[in-house]
Amino acid sequence: MTALSYLTETVGGPRSRPTLVAVSPTCSLRPQVPLSKLTSFRVGGRAEWYVAPRSLEDLQLTLQRARTEGWPVTVLGAGSNLLVSDRGLPGLAISTRYLRYTHIDGDTGRITAAAGEPLPRLAWQAAEAGASGFEWAVGIPGTVGGAVVMNAGAHRSSTADVLREARVINSDGSMEVLVPEDLDYQYRTSNLQGGDRLVVEATFDLVPGGDRHALKAATQDHLERRHRTQPYDRPSCGSVFRNPGPQAAGWLIERTGLKGYRIGGAMVAERHANFILNCGNATASDIFRLIAHVRESVHDRWSLWLEPEVRVLGEFGGV
């Protein structure tokens, strides 16, 4: 065995059916991994290949491997805004879930966090450090990378308001630092969506010198308000549609009489009409068809097309 043979060897030896493909001594690709366990909707088929690197080096080796193989790459954060097809995803799904660290400078209010850091954890850490500006993020079950890409936000604040810069890996493997002006930020969108750049780290400028107790109380208040008004008890992706303004999407859907409407195991939530819930046995196709039904019904009633906020991945043709 040569020093680099781990790059091509499959665990279990060449004669057995490949189970893992090592890209480094600390990182392996797994075949046919069910994505339903990795998305908050709890639906979706398998990734042809899946990996969750634990370091930037392993992430870069993984991307290099995908380029060599010609695999399409899908990046998964916490999977809290994804609808993955029941037919699964071709190529390589890369999860950032183990890319985690946070540096907080309480004196300046500057926070740098790895892509896989959970947003709620960051909100609590910021409050603990006396840095204000992230209290709104506590109820958003995504990662730092997902928030930068989606321009996640709540209570009239958003990621774009606090982002200083994001470090990304480009499709050719080069690293780049981007500032908000580079990202075409608008309501719940950025030009990183659907692109081939991967966010590895983000730095945020918060306001230092806040009272920790008051910030923690405000953060708790945000969390409780959300749990009162939104259905957190069943799998969902949060709000399915962007608010078209001046009326909220939820208001339009509710006034179209769709609360409680079901297709298969998918249902428009009673508590918040812009949520679609997996009632236990939904398929991605059920959810997809319900999204289409809601769009058509709202269009019939209000003459406008709601635009999905949820990222729809994979094939849904013929559904």
Choosing from 36, 239, 285, 297, which is the catalytic residue? Answer: 239
Among 44, 53, 130, 153, binds ligand FAD (CB under 6 A): 153
Applying CB under 6 A, does 40 fall inside the site for ligand FAD? yes
Q: What are phi and psi of 147, to 5 degrees?
A: -65, -40
Applying CB under 6 A, does 80 fall inside the site for ligand FAD? yes
The residue (of 152 and 249) whose beta carbon lies closer to ligand FAD is 152
Structure tokens at 171: 């499709």
Produce one character per residue of 207-246: b if its CB has 16 or more CB atoms within 10 Å, e if not: ebebeeeebbebbeebbeebeeebeeebbbbbbbbbbbee
Among this protein's residues, is 188 annotated catalytic? yes
The residue (of 80 and 85) whose beta carbon lies closer to ligand FAD is 80
3-state SS of 229-265 is HCCCCCCCCCECECCCCCCCHHHHHHHCCCCCCEECC
Helix (H) or strand (E) holding 7: none
Least distance CB 79 / ligand FAD (angstroms): 4
Among 123, 129, 199, 218, binds ligand FAD (CB under 6 A): 199
* Distance between CA atoms of residues 242 and 295, nearest Å: 12
Applying CB under 6 A, does 129 fall inside the site for ligand FAD? no
Give the other-Cβ count within 10 Å of 10's Cβ. 17
Among this protein's residues, is 309 annotated catalytic? yes
Applying CB under 6 A, does 77 fall inside the site for ligand FAD? yes
Least distance CB 82 / ligand FAD (angstroms): 4
For 181, the 3-state DSSP assignment is helix
Site string for ligand FAD, 212-241 (x = CB under 6 A): --------------------x---xxx---
Integer angstrom CA distances of residue 30 from 7, 121, 200, 234, 314 = 14, 28, 21, 29, 19
**Gyration radius from the chain CA atoms:** 21
Region of 11-19, 42-50, 146-154, 276-284 interacting with ligand FAD (CB under 6 A): 146-154
Among 140, 183, 253, 284, binds ligand FAD (CB under 6 A): 140
Omega within 30 of 0 (cis) for the link into 246: yes
Site for ligand FAD in 247-286 (CB under 6 A): none
Applying CB under 6 A, does 115 fall inside the site for ligand FAD? yes
Among this protein's residues, is 239 annotated catalytic? yes
Cβ–Cβ < 8 Å for 183, 165: no
The residue (of 104 and 149) whose beta carbon lies closer to ligand FAD is 149
Applying CB under 6 A, does 145 fall inside the site for ligand FAD? yes
Cβ–Cβ < 8 Å for 146, 113: no
The residue (of 36 and 130) whose beta carbon lies closer to ligand FAD is 36
Question: Which residues of the shown chain bind ligand FAD in the complex (CB under 6 A)?
Answer: 40, 74-82, 96, 115, 140-143, 145-147, 149-150, 152-154, 188, 192-193, 198-199, 232, 236-238, 311
Catalytic residue list: 188, 239, 309
